[in-house]
Structure 1
Amino acid sequence: MSLAELAYLNGELTELHSAMVSIDDRAFLFGDGIYEVVRSYDRRLFGLDGHIDRLVRSAAAIELKLPVDAVGFKELVRTVYKKSEITDALVYIQVSRGAEPRNHLFSLDLKPAVLITVRHLPDYLFSDHMDPLTAITVPDGRWDMCHIKSTSLLANILAKHKAREAGVDEAIFVRRNGLVTEAYASNVFIVQEETVLTHPADNRILGGITRGFVLDLCAKQDLRTVEREFSRDELLSAGEVFVTNSVYEIRPVVRVDGQQIGDGQPGRVTGMLLQAYRALTADQ
């Protein structure tokens, strides 16, 4: 029998379907909250320190006082995850500013609401194959604080919807000046003649935890990396394109806006990095 999926909400641990959030919760009313998603491998939470450290930075950026410090939060997540007994899971962590009658101005003494859910990893994520993706580019009209992992994700939702309408997998944001930032839920890398490029981790993108691991792996593989802005034209002419996030790791992109990338197959550098990343997840 499948192990129960769990929810921790403000100190109470229940089965997932039993958890209920207040209709006055500010994350529900305003998107006034922050979140993280952690993947576990064989009962080990991968990259938890990086995720919680980023959660702390996001909280500070929106002036949300967390109920516990980073060390306490990591221990809480580990405790909730262990209760689930799920071997390979997705652990969702959300902190809302709290619940009170709707008002743009929040009370300074409002108690944050903490939600942690543990769900089974979807079946499609167990594949050992480097399934290629197709993508479109979409205008990047988001705010200038994308380094905050906010629950307010309407622009990302609409970008993914446009990808679905176009019959592709991914949506890649491009600013008015023609520069690529990131995809709707992942960071974007391109490979130009053995050099791996990605957008700098500034306020235009969310600096992904997997992005950081990939840059470290590039150094270990003696691959040159450059963190700089690059254009849509450079994206389309790249030898390889891949995207990264904590859920689906590293995925090659073989077609963008109907144009083939490289030879139309997952590239050598992408495959090498995916193999190294999976070895890393197995070791930790």
Structure 2
Amino acid sequence: MASAPETPIAFVRGQFVPRDTATIPLMDRGFLFGDGVYEVTAVIERRFVDNGPHLDRLDRSLREIGIANPYDRAEWIGIECELMRRNALDNGLIYIQVTRGVAERDFLFPPDLAPSVVLFAQNRRVQHNPLIEKGAAVITLPDQRWARCDIKSTSLLAQVLAKRAAAQANANEVWMTRDGHITEGASSTAFIVTPDGRLVTRTLSPAILPGVTRRTIMRIADQAGLALAERPFTRDEALGAAEAFYTSASTIAIPVTRIDGRPVANGRPGPVFRSLYDQYMQHVLENPQDF
């Protein structure tokens, strides 16, 4: 097994370079306007997790903002695999960021810009988060994001401020609210389990990101015979739930045991969460990689 390099390696505008010396042009529209999208795939025991759906979502986000996908599926996978090899990445995350490209600062842009592509890796054992065992604290805040949350935009200022508010409240995540209902987490999909055992998460719409881990968890739940409901739910309903949890590529799934300082049920991770998490890990480790 290769050892990780002293300086992590990134893929920046067509070249593999040390991350510490990587540069992006000043006039890149991603820097100037947040004019770009991103994607993240987990790596567990040298396996990409749900990589095909993540690349599908990247393609969709690019189409929605009018950027031509600079690589085909095989080329993306080749870059990811080489980045994993160069960083000796056994467990962690691979981030992809694509911006519209480089041009003089103007809200309008030339039609022939070449997109800028950046990939980098983070070493992290996402499957060994201590919150899996003890549970997370969540606070609720008004959802101040833009109207197209279904696009995985690099413009994340609202989420940055929400995460800072959570940290200041000694919480782990924010569940954002709009029109009296939970939309999603600052970087996750929100789930509850009702007292009668039904798994509930919000219906897909421009108000939320179509979570890839959300989709896999729901498929596992359906195969296990768990009743599913896609609909909005309120903060009060979450506080009265039998269980709550959130999902994302960078955390897999995390049980929520407190909301706004109040316990959810008995204040401990519940059996539905544990079963879904264990089945998800089994799915990752026993099935071929999904490219």
Please indicate the TM-score interval, normalised by the length of the shorter structure: over 0.9
What is the aligned partner in structure 1 of residue 286 from structure 2?
A: 283
What is the aligned partner in structure 1 of residue 187 from structure 2?
A: 185
Measured against aligned partners, the alpha-carbon deviations of 1:71-107 in whole angstroms (never above 9, x if no partner) come to 4323332333233322112111010111122111111
What is the aligned partner in structure 2 of residue 214 from structure 1?
A: 217
Q: TM-score, length-normalised on structure 2?
A: 0.93
| CA distance in 1 between partners of 2:220 and 2:280 (Å) | 7
Measured against aligned partners, the alpha-carbon deviations of 1:96-126 in whole angstroms (never above 9, x if no partner) come to 111122111111111100101122116x753
| CA distance in 1 between partners of 2:133 and 2:243 (Å) | 13
Measured against aligned partners, the alpha-carbon deviations of 1:146-171 in whole angstroms (never above 9, x if no partner) come to 00000001111111111112121111
After superposition, residues 111-126 of structure 1 pair within 5 angstroms as 111-121=114-124, 126=128
Measured against aligned partners, the alpha-carbon deviations of 1:151-199 in whole angstroms (never above 9, x if no partner) come to 0011111111111121211111001x21110000000000002100000
What is the aligned partner in structure 2 of residue 132 from structure 1?
A: 135
Equivalent residues of 1:135, 1:171 under 8 A apart: yes
Equivalent residues of 1:236, 1:259 under 8 A apart: yes
Gaps in structure 2 of 5+ consecutive residues: none
Q: TM-score, length-normalised on structure 1?
A: 0.95
What is the aligned partner in structure 2 of residue 91 from structure 1?
A: 94
Shift of 1:248: 1.0
Residue identity (%): 35
After superposition, residues 207-246 of structure 1 pair within 5 angstroms as 207-246=210-249
What is the aligned partner in structure 1 of residue 63 from structure 2?
A: 60
| CA distance in 2 between partners of 1:125 and 1:271 (Å) | 13
Gaps in structure 1 of 5+ consecutive residues: none
Equivalent residues of 2:141, 2:162 under 8 A apart: yes
Code of the residue aligned with 1:246 in structure 2: it is: A
Stretch of structure 1 that moved more, 62-71 or 192-201: 62-71
Select 1:17's aligned residue among 7, 16, 20: 20
| CA distance in 2 between partners of 1:242 and 1:22 (Å) | 40
Equivalent residues of 2:46, 2:90 under 8 A apart: yes
What is the aligned partner in structure 1 of residue 4 from structure 2?
A: 3
What is the aligned partner in structure 2 of residue 251 from structure 1?
A: 254
Code of the residue aligned with 2:193 in structure 1: it is: V
| CA distance in 1 between partners of 2:62 and 2:84 (Å) | 22
2:70 paired with 1:51: no
What is the aligned partner in structure 2 of residue 154 from structure 1?
A: 157
Aligned length: 282
RMSD: 1.6
Equivalent residues of 2:190, 2:201 under 8 A apart: yes
Stretch of structure 1 that moved more, 4-13 or 126-135: 126-135
Q: Which segments of structure 1 move beyond 3 Å, counting only runs of 4 or more? A: none
Equivalent residues of 1:7, 1:118 under 8 A apart: yes
